[in-house]
Amino acid sequence: MSAIYILWLRELKRYIRSRAQIVASLGQPLLYLLVLGFGLGPVFQKAGNGDYLQFVTPGIVSMTVLFSSIFSGIAMLWDRQFGFLKETLVAPVPRIQIMIGRTLGGATVAVIQGCLILTISFIAGFRPTHLAIFPLAFVFMALIAFVFASLGTALGSILQDMQGMQLIMNFMVLPIFFLSGALFPLTNLPKALAIITRLDPLTYGVDALRGVFIAQTAFGLQWDAAVLFLFAAAFVSLGAYLFSKIQL
């Protein structure tokens, strides 16, 4: 257990110490929030869908958590490059503990990032309708973070070089984000797109956060939670398996 804790703590320390990185990683979601929130707002409203900032904030929070958690896993590539990964792999600790510690650390950082963006969106004018079930938002943010941090760890375990990272960004992370309904409602989509969005784990995270914040959910919170738990179980098993297979 202490091994899990010390590796979790390491991820947190690294996060807190790299202030430039904190600011940089908030830049993109901030841009989406403000530009889309205020830029597309009038069109969205005219189409009779209500306030776009209200609608898009849960999506942008999900996006922040997604990016941050998946990259925390891929950041294992740096530890491979700079050698620290070896130090943990030869330690007399079951690899599953090392994997869990890293993953929880990455997930925690992602939740913090999500909270920062949430705070900024409050300042920008976002007003959740459901204050009573607000703590539930943390539960769902944590679930999203854990799902994608596990996926990140799985990817980080098989990635050998930096080139692979671009591939994952363009063919995995961005599609997960754009197909999740973070930016548009999932109602009245073409059939093919509707099916794809339902295969995307983030869809259920966005839906849940929208349910918690503005009482709009397509699947219902229980269903969202169940699906996210399933994805978490699948990815954490995959991550643990691939991590245990790393040879240097």
Partner 1 sequence: MISVRNLVKKFGDVTAVDNISFDVQQGEIFAFLGPNGAGKTTTIKMLTTLLTPTGGIMELDGLNPAVQRNEARRTFGIVFQDPSLDGEQTAYENMDLHAVLYKVPRKLRAERIQKLLTLFELWERRNNIVKTFSGGMKRRLEIARGFLHTPKILFLDEPTLGLDPQTRNQLWTHVKHLNETEKVTVFLTTHYMDEADRVAQRIAVIDHGKIVAQGTPTELKQQTNSESLEQAFLTLTGAGIRDEGATSADQLRQVAKMWSNRR
Interaction with partner 1 in 11-30: which residues (CB under 8 A)? 13-14, 17-18
Q: How far is the CB of 240 from partner 1 (least distance, A)?
A: 15
Position 6 contacts partner 1 (CB under 8 A): yes
Nearest partner of 73 among 243, 246, 200, judged by Cα: 243
Q: How far is the CB of 40 from partner 1 (least distance, A)?
A: 39
Kindly tell me the burial class for residue 212, based on how many C-beta atoms sit within 10 Å of its own C-beta (0-12, 13-18, 19 or more).
buried
Contact 62, 111 (CB under 8 A): no
Rounded to the nearest 10 degrees, the angle between the axes of helix 95-124 and helix 19-31 is 50
Interaction with partner 1 in 141-170: which residues (CB under 8 A)? 157-158, 160
246 SS3 class: coil
Residue indicated by tokens 């699947």? 219
Part of the chain binding partner 1 (CB under 8 A), chosen from 4-12, 132-140, 174-182, 220-228: 4-12
- Type of residue found at 202: L
Q: How far is the CB of 4 from partner 1 (least distance, A)?
A: 10
Q: Measure the CA–CA gap between 162 and 71, rounded to whole angstroms.
A: 12
Position 198 contacts partner 1 (CB under 8 A): no
Q: Name which of 7 and 111 has its Cβ closer to partner 1.
A: 7
Position 2 contacts partner 1 (CB under 8 A): yes
Q: Name which of 2 and 188 has its Cβ closer to partner 1.
A: 2
* CB atoms inside a 10 Å sphere around CB 130: 13
Q: Name which of 56 and 112 has its Cβ closer to partner 1.
A: 112
Interaction with partner 1 in 69-108: which residues (CB under 8 A)? 79, 82-94
Contact 68, 110 (CB under 8 A): yes
Q: How far is the CB of 104 from partner 1 (least distance, A)?
A: 15
Q: Measure the CA–CA gap between 67 and 59, rounded to whole angstroms.
A: 12
Part of the chain binding partner 1 (CB under 8 A), chosen from 2-10, 46-54, 103-111, 212-220: 2-10
Q: How far is the CB of 87 from partner 1 (least distance, A)?
A: 4
In sign, the C-alpha dihedral spanning 216, 40, 170, 69 is negative
Q: How far is the CB of 100 from partner 1 (least distance, A)?
A: 14
Q: How far is the CB of 156 from partner 1 (least distance, A)?
A: 12
Q: How many residues bind partner 1 (CB under 8 A)?
A: 31
- For residue 24, CA distances in Å to 68, 74, 107, 193 come to 11, 17, 18, 32
- For the chain, the helix, strand and coil percentages under 3-state DSSP, each to the nearest 5: 80, 0, 20
**Which residues sit at the interface with partner 1, rule CB under 8 A?**
2-3, 5-7, 10, 13-14, 17-18, 79, 82-94, 157-158, 160, 245-248
